[in-house]
């Protein structure tokens, strides 16, 4: 199966976060047909190829899930109908990250069928990267529980996320998705003079204004050489106000968006991004500010850790030796890297696909990059054995 056909088959399978089962089965069948042993680790799939040198290892991490396609009618050819136009392939997940997924599968096939790997290789196909990273988190915990991370004298990881094969990302921000709630006095909107106190919506606006001022303080408090600015939290990503009423039988009823009533409660969401140094502190400061302003903050999901690998590490030097025109950078977004770097595994993000196409309607990739990625990954494996 050539690269375009493999990528097309992957794209045809809808694999939204939490709905990766069909794609997982496809990958499992694909590996089994080629005589490659594959096992399930939680909701993930893992291929473990033992090398001649059992003291060194590389982990390839690829996520199976995609974001939602949104309104499918907005796609020119449909999100699950991979369409080749010139040197592009169009479809949901082509860049983020089924190109990297295909490249990883082909490298696994190469080292299992034509030659034995000089080092131990782990190929992980994980779930829920687009939501909370729980797939990679689960693998990292399992890997540590089994003692593998202590077994190797030298171990590194490559996340095959899209960088266009021109950037090597050696870090990314952590994230907190936060819900903030305020409560206040309700009343008829025509008589604001009768409201003895502050409304829930006004409390939320006051908190949001105070937050913007406080972020500047946090940035000065936690400067970072690689991440600038060191803390990011923008405007509210969503806001809704509710008015509580009582039905005839006495049960509470929520009337949303009543234009002639002051809301008794208000809920807003915020996206807080952090750095390795600030990650464990900033959310506490966020909560403290919310409390001070009469609001209550809570997490919508488990926080995603930030990740960082020193640019002087060997895995970066090895990669750079095969990618001459490359840029070393850190991602302003979040990824799964931090789940491995937190356990001492040096990791980078480097893969086929256009990062700017991620989560876009009519997403596309250049399939030729998959073959280039396979060549580079193979070369990295060979050189890593001799470092």
CA–CA gap between residue 212 and residue 229 (Å, rounded) = 13
Contact 271, 192 (CB under 8 A): no
Name the DSSP letter for residue 73.
G
Contact 347, 310 (CB under 8 A): no
The 10s digit of each residue's pLDDT in 93-122 is 999 999 999 999 999 999 998 778 999 999
pLDDT of 193 higher than 80: no
Mean pLDDT across the chain: 91
Structure tokens at 91: 């479809």
pLDDT of 322 higher than 70: yes
Residue among 145, 118, 154, 149 at smallest CA distance from 41 = 145
Residue 73: phi and psi, rounded to 5, are -70, -15
Structure tokens at 345: 């595994």
Which H/E stretch holds residue 171? strand 167-172
DSSP letters for 120-158: EEEEEEES-TTTT-HHHHHHHHHHHHTTHHHH-SEEEEE
Number of H helices, E strands in the chain: 10, 20
Pick the CATH number of 174-299 from 3.60.15.10, 3.40.50.300, 3.30.70.360, 3.90.1170.50: 3.30.70.360
pLDDT of 260 higher than 80: no
Specify the range with the lowest mean pLDDT, choosing from 25-34, 37-46, 79-88, 301-310.
Answer: 301-310
Q: What percent of the chain has pLDDT over 70?
A: 92
- What radius of gyration, in Å, describes the C-alpha atoms of the chain? 24
Q: What is the pLDDT of residue 277?
A: 87
- Of these ranges, 179-188, 257-266, 368-377, the one predicted with the greatest mean pLDDT is 368-377
| CATH 3.40.630.10 location in the chain | 3-172+306-384
What mean pLDDT comes out for the span 362-374?
A: 98
Q: What is the pLDDT of residue 131?
A: 87
How many CA atoms lie within 13 Å of 8's alpha carbon, on the beta-carbon side? 11
pLDDT of 51 higher than 90: yes
Distance of CA 236 to the CA centre of its chain: 20
* Chain length of the chain: 387
Residue among 319, 33, 30, 44 at smallest CA distance from 170 = 319
Q: What is the pLDDT of residue 206?
A: 95
Q: What is the pLDDT of residue 106?
A: 98
Tell me which architecture the domain covering 3-172+306-384 has in CATH: 3-Layer(aba) Sandwich (3.40)
Q: What is the pLDDT of residue 116?
A: 87
Contact 124, 64 (CB under 8 A): no
The 10s digit of each residue's pLDDT in 330-358 is 988 889 999 999 999 999 999 999 999 99
Contact 83, 90 (CB under 8 A): yes
CA–CA gap between residue 176 and residue 149 (Å, rounded) = 27
How many C-beta atoms lie closer than 10 Å to residue 65's C-beta?
21
Structure tokens at 260: 């002639």
CA–CA gap between residue 174 and residue 341 (Å, rounded) = 12
Q: ω before 307 within 30° of 0 (cis)?
A: no
Q: 265-274 and 167-172: which strand pairing? A: unpaired
Which H/E stretch holds residue 88? strand 88-90
Structure tokens at 259: 């234009």
Distance of CA 378 to the CA centre of its chain: 25
What mean pLDDT comes out for the span 310-331?
A: 93
Which H/E stretch holds residue 285? helix 279-292
Q: What is the pLDDT of residue 253?
A: 52
């Amino acid at each position: 199966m050539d690269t375009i056909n493999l990528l097309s088959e992957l794209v045809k399978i809808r694999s939204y976060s939490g709905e990766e089962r069909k794609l997982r089965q496809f990958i499992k069948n694909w590996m089994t047909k080629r005589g490659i042993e594959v096992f399930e680790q939680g909701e993930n799939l893992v291929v473990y190829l033992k090398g001649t040198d059992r003291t060194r290892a590389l982990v390839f991490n690829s996520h199976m899930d995609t974001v939602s396609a949104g309104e499918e009618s907005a796609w020119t050819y449909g999100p699950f109908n991979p369409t080749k136009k010139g040197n592009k392939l169009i479809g949901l997940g082509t860049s983020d990250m089924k190109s990297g997924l295909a490249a990883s599968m082909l490298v696994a096939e190469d080292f299992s069928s034509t030659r034995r790997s000089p080092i131990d290789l782990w190929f992980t196909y994980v779930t829920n990267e687009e939501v909370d990273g729980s797939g990679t988190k689960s693998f990292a915990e399992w890997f540590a529980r089994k003692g593998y991370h202590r077994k190797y004298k030298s171990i590194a990881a490559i996340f095959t996320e899209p960088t266009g094969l021109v950037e090597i990302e050696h870090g990314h921000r952590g994230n907190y998705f936060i819900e903030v709630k305020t409560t206040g006095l309700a009343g008829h909107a025509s008589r604001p003079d009768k409201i003895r106190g502050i409304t829930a919506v006004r409390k939320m606006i006051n908190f949001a204004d105070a937050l913007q001022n406080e972020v500047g303080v946090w940035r000065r408090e936690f400067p970072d050489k690689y991440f600038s600015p060191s803390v990011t939290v923008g405007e509210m990503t969503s806001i809704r106000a509710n008015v509580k009423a009582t039905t005839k039988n006495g049960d509470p009823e929520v009337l949303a968006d009543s234009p002639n009533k002051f809301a008794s409660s208000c809920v807003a969401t915020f996206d807080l991004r952090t750095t390795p140094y600030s990650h464990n502190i900033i959310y506490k400061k966020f909560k403290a500010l919310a409390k001070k302003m009469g609001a209550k903050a809570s997490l919508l999901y488990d926080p995603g850790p930030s990740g960082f690998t020193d640019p002087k590490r060997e895995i970066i030097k090895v990669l750079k030796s095969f990618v001459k025109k490359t840029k070393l950078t850190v991602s302003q977004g979040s990824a799964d890297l931090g789940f491995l770097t937190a356990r001492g595994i040096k990791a980078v993000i480097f893969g086929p696909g256009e990062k700017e196409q991620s989560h876009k309607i009519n997403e596309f990739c250049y399939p030729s990059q998959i073959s280039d990625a396979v060549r580079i990954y193979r070369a990295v494996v060979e050189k890593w054995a001799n470092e």
